[in-house]
Amino acid sequence: MLLPTGALAQGGGSSGQAASGTDLQSLSRDPAQWVMPAKNYAGTRYSELDQINADNVGKLQLAWTFSNGVDRGQESIPLVVGNTMYIVGPWPNNLFALNATTGDLKWVYSPPTARAAQGVACCDVVNRGAAYDNGKIFYNTLDNHAVAVDAKTGKEVWHTELGDINTGMTMTMAPLVAKGKVFVGSSGGELGVRGWLTALDENTGKIAWRAWSTGSDKDVLIGKDFKPPYDWMKGKDLGIKTWPADRWKTGGGNVWGWISYDPESNLIYYGTGNPGPWNPNQRKGDNLWTTTIFARDADTGMAKWAYQTSPHDLWDHDSINEVVLLDLKIDGQMRKVMIRPGRTGYMYVMDRTTGKLISATPFDTVTAYKGVDMQTGRIIPNEKLKPDLGKTVKDICPAPPGAKDWQPTAWSPKTHLLYVPHQHLCMNFKASEVGYIAGTPYLGATVDMYAGPGDGYRGEFMAWDPVKKKKVWAIHENFPVWSGTVVTAGNIAFYGTMDRWFKAVNATTGDVLWQFRAPSGFIGQPSVYKGSDGREYVAILSGVGGWSGAVADAELDPRVRNGALGFVGATQDLPAYTKGGSTLLVFALPGGGNGTRLPPSGTPGNLGRPIQNPPPAHDAGSDQSGNGAAEGSPQPASGGGSAQDAIPGLVPAQNSPGSGAETTHAPGR
């Protein structure tokens, strides 16, 4: 089972090449470093390091900590270039450079991020991380600036303003850098912001091209080479004609998720967000090109193909989730594919050269749809759940965050499995009329979310076989699993829970081998790297928040179930488990990691409920729910580290005497 020759970041290399190397693809192949959010262009989030494995992960211990000083949602991933780690905090979006082995603070870049941006961010003031290339760190600020910072000194190289917060626009996504361009996108679909993806020159910050998600073919960058896989997406100016008059101007489709890149074809792949408003009665038509996966030429931005996952989206089922680029043997033939665990609840396997579906299989409870028509490519809505004005429609699954939201998956070429953190939520939905006022919520819906069918679990961490189209194993969690994941050559998958557990799982069996109780819940993304001392490290930010955890860190009233766009109903009890936090946690084995597995120690806590031999999920087109999960018995942990008192204290994000740290303040804008 192979992965694309230019897309998979695998192979050897030394961390020293980061100091002078400019070939980002080569750097991403170095297992000692983590130079882009998804580890590599293919988006596998797979590390070739194997010092930490099933035999010794029980000895994993806290190596060092750091606080970024802002107790809001921590979704950023730690980057490691050479022996320097870079993390981005929530608003005001300070960038920290740390010694990746010792945790010593090197410098802080503090942009003058507008305070008013907090007031228009729909779902917490989060940031999903930075990217590196050619001696520079690139990231976005909440007030719509893309910035480039010198990776050694922390001095600003350039900044580019890309939007106006007064319209409701913000920026939260992590950039992708390829072919000398920095690809960035907008947020704000819940405020009627018209979405776009923009390519910036990485040396100057100047706009190279911008592709809008709605509007004319000229605006969307659709030309003569555009070949959609299905006929219903063919036609002129469908980004206007599939909307009521002028509604495309406030139609959403923001690009706040993930971008993948295939150097062989020179195509970038990404998805667009939901249409606005949520009330579908105010926007008849398919509402192209929202909830759409695009393939675009990286140099020109021109679209090669597009596939809309949810035409005339009824339930806020954005299409921003990551796509993982693989070469897989399917039905005896090697195929260039992309895998997308969708918010709709379907696992899409697609031909990445054409955009045509290979399979679409439910991986969680689905009542909102009846399947996916494999001939036309269109998802089939459940007409019994049509959201009419003033009518409360009940038992819609998945809820607006979907069966999986932005939290990224990981792929292991060792097990040939995709590791998927996701939620298990349903909802009641009531549509209402809403008018557009720039910079204010543009929803037209009241939502109440709650746990899906089962014993009350609201999240799941699962392993999925995309060739056999089935769930191999799964761990049920009390709350949505809103953290990302990483999988390693040591056959370990790491993920965090909202109730403060960081876990190491056997990637083959799903057994929980080790866990650590953190100061706050996890909604961040782990990364794995090698320090200058030769040890393998695992890093993740602890700090609950985001859309899912707003009730715990944003002082919302847990009694108001429709708060946080309805998510409060699903997580009313979260404040009893955690509050907001700002702690970077870095773990390693003692003395190089040649020990053996430790016996259980400490309080085992909530290990989740691994599901043994779940029945296969049903194929697309079936009326079955696709829940595909039978109850299993709890599995014991193999390692200690569960005691909260194991954290000795936090290192303040400030200069310390004799540390040589430097604080860089960006010029006013």
Residues designated catalytic: 190, 274, 316
Alpha helix positions (H), 188-326:
217-220, 238-241
Sign of CA dihedral 538, 542, 544, 547: negative
Contact 141, 171 (CB under 8 A): yes
119 backbone dihedrals φ, ψ, rounded to 5°: -75, -15
Of 13, 168, 19, 159, the closest CA to residue 95 belongs to 159
Distance CA 627, CA 462 (A): 12
Distance CA 576, CA 18 (A): 44
Contact 60, 41 (CB under 8 A): no
Cα dihedral angle (518, 521, 522, 528), rounded to 10 degrees?
A: 0
Cα 467 to the chain's mean position, in Å?
Answer: 23
Of 142, 148, 147, the closest CA to residue 169 belongs to 142
Distance CA 33, CA 80 (A): 5
Name the region of 607 (left: φ>0; alpha: ψ -120 to 50; beta: rest): alpha
Beta carbons within 8 Å of 224's beta carbon, 6+ residues apart: none
Distance CA 551, CA 356 (A): 40
Quote the tokens at residue 407: 């939290």
Quote the tokens at residue 440: 């204010």
